[in-house]
Amino acid sequence: MNKKIAVIKGDGIGPEVVTEAMKVLDKTAEKFGHSFEYDQLLMGGCSIDANGVPLTDETIEKAKAADAVLMGSIGGNTATSPWYKLPADKRPEAGLLKLRKSLNLFANLRPALLYGELKDACPLKAEIAERGFDMMIMRELTGGLYFGARKTEEVDGIVTATDTLTYNENEIRRIAVRAFDIAMKRRKKVTSVDKANVLDSSRLWRKIVEEVAKDYPEVSYEHMLVDNCAMQLVKDPAQFDVVLTENMFGDILSDEASMITGSIGMLASASLNDTKFGLYEPSGGSAPDIAGQNKANPIATILSAAMLLRYSFDMDKEADAVEAAVAKVLKDGYRTGDIMSEGMKLVSCSEMGDVIAANI
Ligand code: IPM
Ligand code: MG
């Protein structure tokens, strides 16, 4: 198959990790008789430097014209980078949020699983790591606090900032349906996470999830409060299959989930709309402290490329091959610095890409 992939390398470690994912995609194309054509686009800090804005209309149009988007990461050091002297709507992150919204990418899938070989890198107690875990965090991505009205104003001489958390029933229903659909292909369990003891938006969330659940009699589901979920993730992560939650809770819980996999450098993600189109990016950030040093872990980006093959191109065999290659190199003892443990072989970002590509 001939496919066109828009590539946004972005900032920080983005260019390094995406280069390795493209290496693996090219090897996969060669093995399976496909051809992938790349259209490299700017977004984030690099777009601010080149165009004065974090995301241009041209980038949005070109992304839409592709079959899928592969992305690295965007943003810099918020304390020192000149990008953070700009007004909030001109900063790198504003570009990413606008892109998610423009492409209607409401369903964010973040699979967190503990590879047997990485049990030593897992910060949890050995008896918990021993049981392993394999969960899919389903984060709503185009609503909630991220997109509600916000303002900073003076009220009676006191500076006051407001953000609003709004969800309508349709936004909740479409992500809940996705979560139950995905649960049907996994262990058939959904944990819907909210703060229904405090928030109206969470009470509506619960009601709609219950309605959707009726169409999936085979899937067991439960509601869990977000603070309890944060605790359960480190106490007993094996209990989770699909974790369904709103935008902000999903942002926080997915970082927590990534850490117990050994490193944020391991967590892939897919952001999907209601077609086959999607944007695929590692869940971690741009890590400006190690950028340009060929030290970053490219595995999350390579696994995101595998999700791209599976969800946007229906290339299941190819995606399996990429995931198997990752598992194989971990088994063979190759480690980047973030997941290094005694007796393993420390490799650079590009060497990790090389060994994974060689195993396709
Ligand atoms: C993520 C990131 C983004 C988010 C930032 C960069 C805006 O943390 O993808 O999890 O909060 O969604
Ligand atoms: Mg985040």
Looking only at the bridges linking them, the beta strands covering 2-10 and 68-73 are: parallel
* Residue intervals in the chain for CATH 3.40.718.10: 1-106+274-360, 123-260
CA of 256 to the centre of ligand 2 (A): 10
State residue 285 phi and psi, 5-degree precision.
-90, -165
CATH superfamily of 1-106+274-360: Isopropylmalate Dehydrogenase (3.40.718.10)
How far are the Cα atoms of 147, 148, 174, 268 from residue 169, in angstroms, in the given order?
16, 15, 9, 28
| Cβ–ligand 1 contact at 267 (below 6 Å) | no
Ligand nearest to the CA of 71: 1
CA of 350 to the centre of ligand 1 (A): 25
Ligand nearest to the CA of 73: 1
How far are the Cα atoms of 64, 122, 159, 193 from residue 224, in angstroms, in the given order?
36, 24, 35, 5
pLDDT tens track of the chain, all 360 residues? 999 999 999 999 999 999 999 999 999 999 999 999 999 999 999 999 999 999 999 999 999 999 999 999 999 999 999 999 999 999 999 999 999 999 999 999 999 999 999 998 899 999 999 999 999 999 999 999 999 999 999 999 999 999 999 999 999 999 999 999 999 999 999 999 999 999 999 999 999 999 999 999 999 999 999 999 999 999 999 999 999 999 999 999 999 999 999 888 999 999 999 999 999 999 889 999 999 999 999 999 999 999 999 999 999 999 999 999 999 999 999 999 999 999 999 999 999 999 999 999
The answer to whether the CB of 49 falls within 8 A of the CB of 92 is no
Tally: H helices and E strands in the chain: 12, 14
What confidence score (pLDDT) does residue 89 get? 92
Which atom of ligand 1 lies at the shortest distance from residue 281's CA?
9
Residues with CB under 5 A from ligand 2 (ion): 251
CA 146 – CA 140 distance, rounded (Å): 10
Q: Where are the alpha helices (DSSP H) in the chain?
A: 14-32, 45-51, 57-65, 92-102, 126-131, 169-184, 200-213, 226-235, 247-260, 299-307, 316-331, 349-358
| Cβ–ligand 1 contact at 117 (below 6 Å) | no
CA of 169 to the centre of ligand 1 (A): 24
What confidence score (pLDDT) does residue 284 get? 87
How far are the Cα atoms of 8, 15, 180, 225, 241 from residue 185, in angstroms, in the given order?
30, 33, 9, 25, 11
Catalytic site positions: 146, 195, 227, 251, 255
| Cβ–ligand 1 contact at 67 (below 6 Å) | no
**Can you give the length of the chain in residues?**
360
Q: Which two tokens stand for residue 229?
A: 């979920």
CATH 3.40.718.10 describes domain 123-260: yes
**What is the pTM for the complete model shown?**
0.95
Which atom of ligand 1 lies at the shortest distance from residue 96's CA?
7
CA of 34 to the centre of ligand 1 (A): 32
Ligand nearest to the CA of 91: 1
What confidence score (pLDDT) does residue 120 get? 87
Which atom of ligand 1 lies at the shortest distance from residue 73's CA?
6
